Structure 1
Amino acid sequence: MEQITIEKVTSTDIIKLQEIGRNTFFEAFAEVNTEENMKDYLENSFSEEKLKAELNNKNSQFYFALVGGNVVAYLKINVGEAQNEKMDNALEIERIYVLKAFHGKKVAQALYQKAIDIAYQIQVNKVWLGVWEENSRALRFYEKNGFTPFGKHSFWLGNDEQTDLLMKKALPNINELKAS
């Protein structure tokens, strides 16, 4: 497989972000949700207005993963007030979504590593996320990367209330790493 490149998403990338967001979410969840709930979620959560607001939030960042110059996945991270659950000294991985054709090809791992690198750069001491309790593939991925469950919260997909497991990973202090 060609090399994976990670690029920060800018406001000029709004249509590409909308496309990869809708496509990856649809691939991941259309089979297990109603058409009506999927349509509602995709229209509202990936509208140009909503994505512009998220891109303009100083506490959120998006990154694309590209293979052969094509966007195949994306990452969204949040800190401070942008987090879905407010946590001190933490970075939230809100989304890592990869096109199915690129599952198992280290794309998610590259985006995950980008999030961890940023967490160290901004010197937070934990990374956390919410993952749908029935998404076994994602749960295995995060467990493999050292995340452990610490709670739950509701996620609404249209009119369907679903449960996300909250998972976290403590990061060693950057000074401790330098000393070892």
Structure 2
Amino acid sequence: MTPIITLCTINDLEILQKISIETFTDTFAADNDPKDLQDFLDTAYSLPQLTSELNDPNAFFYFVHVNDELTGYLKLNINDAQTEDDFPNGLEIQRIYIRKNHKKMGLGQLLFEKSKEVAKELKKDQLWLGVWEHNKPALSFYEKQGFTKHSQHDFVLGDDIQTDFILVLNSSDSKN
């Protein structure tokens, strides 16, 4: 197994939409109302929305493939593409999603390492992200990476207002 990470382009739009919907649904469907989930998917992962994000020079999508199979993806934001204003020289990890059949293979760690690499290349002071307060596996993963809770914000999923913890890792705290 040799994972390969590649930068997504607008030519990857439909593949990005498919894996985005699949991985978000696999991760959160069991804990959310189906209508709220569908409303979110229809908005967040619509072709116009993803086109806008792919065309934003401050947003970066990466695919990870293993043996020519798409296994997951990563979305990073800088500058005004960030979803919070608290980190003017930060890099936001907006999404790390791995297909369910490829979890526990170190691919999330690999995409996290890619995030650190991009942050270093862009001379960012910190990495940060929002993670749902009930997503225990993700919270545990990021805690092991050295992230600490900074604050929290609302995450709207359809008509359901949920709480995301904002976690931060300063560049000087990064585990190498």
TM range (shorter): over 0.9
Count of matched residue positions in the alignment of Structure 1 and Structure 2? 173
1:70 has 2:76 as partner: no
Aligned pairs (5 A) from 1:122-137: 122-137=122-137
Partner Cα distance (1:35, 1:133) in 2: 19
Residue in structure 1 matched with residue 141 of structure 2 by the alignment: 141
Aligned pairs (5 A) from 1:60-139: 60-86=59-85, 87-139=87-139
Q: Which runs of 4 or more aligned residues in structure 1 lie more than 3 Å from their structure 2 counterparts after TM superposition?
A: none
What does the per-residue CA deviation read over 1:77-123, in whole Å, with 9 as the maximum and x for residues that have no partner? 00000101022111000000111111110010111111100000000
* Normalised TM-score (structure 1): 0.94
Partner Cα distance (1:94, 1:167) in 2: 11
Task: Name the SS for the 2:172 alignment partner.
Answer: coil
Partner Cα distance (2:171, 2:79) in 1: 17
Give the fraction of aligned pairs with identical amino acids, expressed as a percent: 38
Task: Compare CA radii of gyration and give the structure with the larger one.
Answer: 1
Partner Cα distance (2:151, 2:128) in 1: 11
Partner Cα distance (1:169, 1:13) in 2: 30
Question: Structure 2 counterpart of 1:119, which letter?
Answer: A
Partner Cα distance (1:49, 1:65) in 2: 23
Partner Cα distance (1:104, 1:133) in 2: 21
Aligned pairs (5 A) from 1:18-33: 18-33=17-32
Partner Cα distance (1:16, 1:95) in 2: 16
Partner Cα distance (1:58, 1:154) in 2: 26
Task: Name the SS for the 1:30 alignment partner.
Answer: helix
Partner Cα distance (1:80, 1:29) in 2: 28
Aligned pairs (5 A) from 1:29-48: 29-48=28-47
Residue in structure 1 matched with residue 158 of structure 2 by the alignment: 158
Q: Give RMSD over aligned pairs.
A: 1.2
Partner Cα distance (1:21, 1:137) in 2: 19
Question: Structure 2 counterpart of 1:55, which letter?
Answer: L
Q: Which residues of structure 2 form unaligned runs of 5+?
A: none
1:172 CA drift (Å): 2.5
